[in-house]
Amino acid sequence: MSAHAASHAEHGHHEQGFVRKYLLSTDHKVIGLQYLFTGMLMALIGGFTVYVFRMQLAFPGEEVPLWGRVTAAQYNALVTTHGSVMIFWVAMPVLIAAFGNFLIPLMLGCDDMVFPRLNRLSYQLFLLSALILIASFFVPGGPFGGAWTAYPPLSADPAYNATPWGATLWLIAVALEFVAFLLGGINFITTAMNSRAPGMKMFDVPIVIWMIVLASLVFMASVGPLIAGAIMLLFDQRFGTGFFNPATGGDPVLWQHLFWFFGHPEVYVVLLPALGIVAEVMTTFSRKKLFAYRTVIFTAIATSIISFFVWAHHQFVAGIDPRMAGLFTVTTLIISVPIAEMMFIYIATLYGGSIRFTTPMLWALAFIAEFLIGGVTGIYLGAAGSDVYFHDTYFVLAHFHYTFFPIAFIATFAGLTYWFPKMFGRMMDERLGKIHFWGTIIAFNVIFIPLFLTGAGGDHRRIFDYSLFPELAGLQGLRVLATIGLLVLIAFQPIFIYNFINSMFRGKVAGANPWRANTLEWAAPSPPPHGNFPEMPVVYRGPYEYSVEGRDEDYWPQHVPPDDPKRPAEQVA
């Protein structure tokens, strides 16, 4: 507390230059928005690569507009860049870092993070890692093409991957990014422990904060082995060691062990914040108390723990001991139980509520619907027997996109449209928001339902040209359909970008609490000034007291004292 109180005092409320204010700021809101915009820009890269390689798959060998003819090596590089960017530079920064930074101090009712300078360092490292990744497009050999999982020996030996610089830069970028999130995570957890508003007990903390904190914990506990592996891989690439080279007594499968030890918990690292965002949006727009608040938290904790016991299901066909495969089948099927429970809880929250179909609510509902498809198809992949058939096909691909797309985009859109008034003080346009919603959701299903079918029909992932497999020619129609779906999806995104930028400057002025929500961030003015609250809030109740009987208002903010129940919540604006 004292350290950051001091740092506030020193650059108090005098005018700051643009650089001080927006580039070198230690204010959590600015850092959150920095993460948000960086993530959104990276999403453009992730989206553009997808466009290029999907075009190649639908129309093999043709010129792709804006790119040209795609070579096999380019194809690999594009897929790798797409996967890495979407997970490490879009989902992670937006869901955890952007929402985490923006929301944690606001929802806890304090003025900033516990370690504001560490926070700034975290963003700077993250930005550096993004720049390094982008730089790898311009080095000899081009960007890394060994898939986002970077299995050796392909990733270890330039003789195999033909991208001596791209592979190393990719590795350095990923490692730096991990350090950035490690610092950020420490900050989040410490802040949530030590800076809660007076009166806010552990079980008065909004779900989304719980989820981001849990996700940070899972991230911190799982990333160590991968950093160890990344260093070993770096040495193999650059200094001629043979950690993953069987010829010198190394073990290539070891990388998979280290990678997936992180890789699977990582899925829950991005899932939990998404679930948290959806919980906030859902309770606000069904005007109903969250069903079983504590159960959600304990379920999330259980999920986090179990998430450490499922990762070898990525290695069912990597020659692991079948007894281990048996164990991991069981744990994988077990983890679907808490997740299913969470889905039921959310549906129960809707039951009997007075639901308002605003844009954020539509996104939140779509999250549940689409994620369910991803979850259910996962059961087939979790069972070692059927996974032997499905492994590395488009079925797997469609499965994890049905989980990742809801996480990285649907939940993010829910969160962005929900907190946009708080971030910029203005409302987004509802009509454009709904057009964008329906265009995106329908197109998304048009992309990936066909891919389930091609996968079950035998299409393998990471294949650059299916015309080389005449026996799979019958699936070409579905591939073209998926690509058309993608083009439609892309065509709808400018609507969002226009709506976002336009509303930032010309939207209806929002006021402090446009959604009539309970949590503390709505007690601050929109957008919150440096220091967040004109008067530090005190908390009197849990975050989800909607439609409480005997009150005139159907909401009861956390910071409103209980002494006059008839008074409508004051807006501090």
Partner 1 sequence: MPMALVGEPPKRRAAVPSGVLGMLLFVAAEVMFFAGLISAFTITRAGAPPLAWSLPGGVVLPAVETAFNSIVLMMSGVVLVVAHWRLRRGEDAKAARALLAATILGAAFVLLQGREWWGLLSRGVTMQTSTLGAFFYLIVGTHALHAACAIVGLGVAWWRLRRGALPAGFFYTAETFWYFVVAIWPVIYFRVYF
Partner 2 sequence: MVFRTLVVALALLFAAPASALACPVCGLAGPGNNGWAYLAMTLMLSALPVGILGGVLFWVYRRTKEAEEAAEAEQSRRASAAPTRRQAGVEAVR
CB of 379 to partner 1, least distance (A): 29
Q: CB nearer to ligand HEM: give 115 or 448.
A: 448
Token pair recorded at residue 335: 């983890």
Strand partners, 546: 555
Question: Cα–Cα–Cα angle for 227, 232, 235, nearest 5°?
Answer: 125
In the set 12, 68, 322, 529, which binds partner 2 (CB under 8 A)? 322
257, 270, 258: which is closest to 218 by C-alpha?
270
Distance between start and end Cα atoms, the chain: 26
| DSSP codes of every residue in 193-219 | HH-PPTT--GGGS-HHHHHHHHHHHHH
| Contact pattern from residue 286 through residue 315 relative to partner 2, giving x for each residue in contact according to CB under 8 A and a dash for the rest | -------------------x--xx--x---
Which residue's CB is nearer to partner 2, number 67 or number 309? Answer: 309
Cβ-based neighbours of 368, under 8 Å, separated by 6 or more: 278, 343, 346, 347
Contact with partner 2 (CB under 8 A) among 99, 123, 144, 316: 316
Beta carbons of 375 and 336 less than 8 angstroms apart: yes
388 is a site residue for partner 2 (CB under 8 A): yes
Query: In the complex, which residues of this chain contact ligand HEM (CB under 6 A)?
Result: 47, 50, 54, 79-80, 82-83, 86-87, 91, 147-148, 397, 401, 404-405, 408-409, 447, 461-462, 486
Per-residue tokens: 525? 């003015």
Quick one: what does residue 461 bind among partner 1, ligand HEM, partner 2, none, with the CB cut-off 5 to 8 Å set by partner type?
ligand HEM
> Binding pattern to partner 1, positions 252-281, x when CB under 8 A?
--x--xx--x--------------------
As measured in angstroms, the least distance from the Cβ of 395 to ligand HEM is 12
Task: Pick from 17, 249, 319, 470 the residue near partner 2 by CB under 8 A.
Answer: 319
Binding map of partner 2 across residues 189-228, x = CB under 8 A, - = no contact: ----x-------xx--------------xx-xxx--x---
Q: Which of 7, 16, 124, 241 binds partner 1 (CB under 8 A)?
A: 241
323 binds, among ligand HEM, partner 2, partner 1, none (CB under 5 to 8 A by kind): partner 2
* Other CB atoms within 10 Å distance of the CB of residue 350: 18
Q: Residues touching partner 2: how many (CB under 8 A)?
A: 28
Q: What is the CA radius of gyration of the chain?
A: 24
Torsion of Cα atoms, 503 then 507 then 509 then 510, to 10°: -60
Please state, in angstroms and rounded to a whole number, the distance separating the CA atoms of residues 244 and 152. Answer: 7
Give backbone dihedrals phi and psi of 426, rounded to 5 degrees, phi first.
-135, 160
Q: Map the footprint of partner 1 across residues 109-138, applying CB under 8 A.
A: 110, 114-115, 118
- Considering only residues 237 to 256 of the shown chain, the ones binding partner 2 according to CB under 8 A are 251
* Rounded Cα–Cα distance for residues 78 and 84 (Å): 10
Residues 365-384 that bind partner 2 (CB under 8 A): 384
Residue 18: count other Cβ atoms within 10 Å of its Cβ.
Answer: 7
Count the Cβ atoms, other than its own, within 10 Å of residue 65.
9
Q: What is the DSSP letter of 557?
A: -
Closer Cβ to partner 1, 228 or 491, answer by number: 228
In Å, what is the CA distance from 319 to each residue of 29, 265, 386, 482? 48, 22, 16, 33
399 versus 426: smaller Cβ distance to ligand HEM: 399
Residue nearest to ligand HEM (CB): 83
Nearer to ligand HEM, 485 or 514 (CB): 485
Q: Can you say how many angstroms the Cα of residue 263 is from the centroid of all Cα atoms in its chain?
A: 14
Q: Is residue 325 involved in binding partner 2 (CB under 8 A)? A: yes
Residue 555, beta-bridge partner list: 546
Instruction: Establish if 319 lies at the interface with partner 1 (CB under 8 A).
Output: no
- Closest CA relative to residue 404, chosen from 438, 370, 429, 381: 370
User: Rounded to the nearest whole angstrom, what is the least distance from the CB of residue 212 to partner 2 in the complex?
Assistant: 16
Q: Kindly list the residues in this chain that would bind partner 2 in the complex (CB under 8 A).
A: 193, 201-202, 217-218, 220-222, 225, 251, 257, 261, 305, 308-309, 312, 316-317, 319-326, 384, 388
Q: Kindly list the residues in this chain that would bind partner 1 in the complex (CB under 8 A).
A: 1, 110, 114-115, 118, 182, 185-187, 189-190, 193-199, 220-229, 231-232, 235, 239-243, 248-251, 254, 257-258, 261, 538, 540, 561-563
